[in-house]
Amino acid sequence: MKVDDPPAPLFTETQVSQLIIQAGRTASQKKTPESKTAGLLKRVNPNLNAVEKDEVRSELKSEISTELKDDGFRPGLIESVSMVFANLLVDRIELVHAEPGKSIILYLKCESVGTLLRVKEMILSGLLLNLLSEVVKQIDPSLSRSHIQLVVQAEDYNLTLFHLSIVAGKSVGFLL
């Protein structure tokens, strides 16, 4: 019995990386003070309950979808990409770079200890992997879930947490 090799990917890691960073730029560039995105993000505060936060996330997703459509993104890709960036932006997380290599490395900007801890929650709960997996599968359907992994260097996370904690003057004992 011969086992077939998995199908070749439709896109290279460089192309996937470029699509992700282009989407991140589209989502982030719309945060100008007079934009609807900025207005939505101003509504996000620690006092919002889960339902109110979901309403903002939904409106933000719609706004990002419109921008992605205007920028020429494929219709099938818009839904998953706008969901990723709506979730990140609501939690004050910004994609600043995507770098291809043996895999795709995403650089996320966290402006506070709380934001970094939220990234940790998104990683541990599987939310970030699920969101990113959906984007990658929409870009290249030949990639199965088994090919998509989320790897976080504990040393990088802990060092960033340490530096943010010092700057914020907070003691944080939760490490990845």
Give me the pLDDT at residue 30, please: 65
Give me the pLDDT at residue 174, please: 47
Give me the pLDDT at residue 138, please: 81
Ranges of H-type helices in the chain: 13-29, 36-43, 50-70, 75-90, 113-125, 127-139, 154-168
Contact yes or no for 31/37 (Cβ under 8 A): yes
**pTM confidence score:** 0.74
Give me the pLDDT at residue 97, please: 82
Give me the pLDDT at residue 175, please: 45
Give me the pLDDT at residue 105, please: 80
Closest of 16, 5, 23, 8 to residue 101, by C-alpha: 16
On the CB side of 10, CA atoms within 13 Å amount to: 9
d(CA 116, CA 157): 8
How many C-beta atoms surround the C-beta of residue 100 within 10 A?
16
Q: Which residues of the chain have pLDDT under 50?
A: 1-6, 8, 171-176
Give me the pLDDT at residue 59, please: 93
